[in-house]
Amino acid sequence: NSARFMWKRMPAAIKEARPEVVAVWRIGQKLWTRDYAGIYVCTDFVVYLIFISFLHHRSAELYKKRMFELLLAAYSTISTQDSAHFLGMNENDATNYVLQQGWVLDSASQTLTVKKQAVVKEQKLDPSKLQRLTEYVFHLEH
């Protein structure tokens, strides 16, 4: 009964913007009317919404990581405002995020100095190249 009154007091903007809230309310309605079979249908929908929310969050994190890598490759210095814009955060959060990655903040000019990470290249040994090199060295010696 308390959930019913809470639903009535809840602003319409929240009800329209958050489908998971509506889905949970439907579960409450099914409980109220003792429609036990309907509860399972509603809970499946809530699980689906949570899964979609997880995918959205995960893709946003991957996108933020990719944007950070692009900033790392493209800039030596960047303003805190621009870094926040590219990373999709407010300035404080973006500044804290890049400072954790080793970047340096100049407080006076509000610019960040990018700390380039050491590039580790793995040299792949191609057998055909090794064979040609061996033949070339053999030819030089004889």
- Residue from 93, 63, 64, 62 nearest 80 by CA: 93
- Domains, the chain, in order of start with CATH, read 64-141 (1.10.10.10)
Q: What is the pTM of this model?
A: 0.52
Euclidean distance between the first and the last CA atom of the chain, given in angstroms as a whole number: 97
Q: Can you list the residues of the chain whose pLDDT is less than 50?
A: none
What is the pLDDT at residue 118?
Answer: 67
Asked if residue 104 lies in contact with residue 112, where contact means CB atoms within 8 angstroms, the answer is: yes
What is the pLDDT at residue 96?
Answer: 93
| One-letter identity of residue 73 | A
What is the pLDDT at residue 79?
Answer: 93
